[in-house]
Structure 1
Amino acid sequence: MAATVLIVDDEVAIRRLLHNTLAQAGYRVVEARDGRDALALAAAEHPDAVLLDLGLPDRDGLGLVPLLRGKDGRVVLVVSARDATEEKVAALDLGAEDYVTKPFDTDELLARLRVALRHRGGMGQTPQTVRAGALTIDLDRRLVTRGGEELHLTRKEYDVLAVLARHVGRVVTHDRIIAAAWGGDEDPRIEYLRIVVRNLRQKLEAPQPVGSVIANELGVGYRLRAE
């Protein structure tokens, strides 16, 4: 059965673009133009995912993120013209799976939606092996290989990579990475995280880097690119 996606946006042109894009990709689509309609349709249609604009006429979309996500962890992707770092971090901290800034590339949006839905389908399961490009990350054995060759990482490098691997394809905020990798036992300054990520990139991408496997979401966090 096709997944159902709820579009929440007050702009008719954006809703039409998203509707056509999603329908052509095989999704069932429902639309809401404001927060009130969104909550009503979420209760009635039980969508698998929500594409949520923040600038709604009746309320701020940020407050809708936890309501639309609900107790079952429904996928919520923010699709908004707001590009302030604070807005992105707030949306992610409130439970959004991802944040896409308008104007957006429809192929990228569909890719991020697929990643989010795959993650939701695997909720409650701990991934044992994650693949990202030529990398294979065995979380059970704490083993990282590239093209079959084992990479030697420091404990902190592995801890940071493991956080990203458990959320592969999705942005993880700086604070979440630091909390998971440092655990409050050390001074979790963001400068330390940047140094670890820089060293990680050098090891993961050598000898012929063709684009960072760890993407930087400026001011927000990092994303391990999906396979």
Structure 2
Amino acid sequence: MLTTPTSTGGTDTSQSLVQDTVASPEASSPAELSGSDQEEILAAPPEPPAVQLNSDTAPIESAPAPTSDGLSVETFSRPVVATPTRITVAAAGIDVPVLPLSPTADDLASQSIVPPYTDNGYWISSYGAPGVGSTDTTYITGHSWEDREAPFDRFSTHASVGDALTLTTAAGTMNYVIDAVTTHDKESLKTSEIWNVVPNRVVIISCYTQDPWGKNVIVTASPIG
């Protein structure tokens, strides 16, 4: 479950928004996972503005693309703002589907969000979306699992500053570089600066594998170019 400012087998180690997932080409079924999952909590501001998605899928802006070490050496076209459908961090062995998750009125009132208990990532659709025209940070969460391999565990154990991160969207591909991998106490996550409005920034939230009940791992990434 993920706590928000004011406004989830294996054991799920998160009390914040993200769920560890196993890399796979297809989205997993919400109810058919073995193992035990620990609850996650995501903190977020109350009633964030609705995301305005552009139906035009033509890329309209060029910028350098990252190599495997996160350095920019080529050019690519940035697509317009659109729903993210997959997240990849090749250097960390992460490649998972991303599904939309819309907070309910009860979620906003309780300042908490619990994503479905699957191996997928979840885009919090009430905040930002990636692409040209983005108006806020893109938040992606998923469950970490305690007694089996899961992709989101790798944000705690394998992701590093400088790694290239790719978001596949309904309009194309957005390329980023990871600029911070930190941990945060779950109880105070809702007042964290990660909720500041930063268009086209990506924030990934999951349980920190070394302290799944007390801390979240927070991965932030900035677009290339």
Per the normalisation by structure 2, the TM-score is 0.26
Q: Which has the higher contact order (CA 8 A, sep 6+)?
A: 2
Higher-strand-fraction structure: 2
Structure (1 or 2) with the greater helix fraction: 1
Larger Rg: 1
TM-score, length of structure 1 as denominator length: 0.26
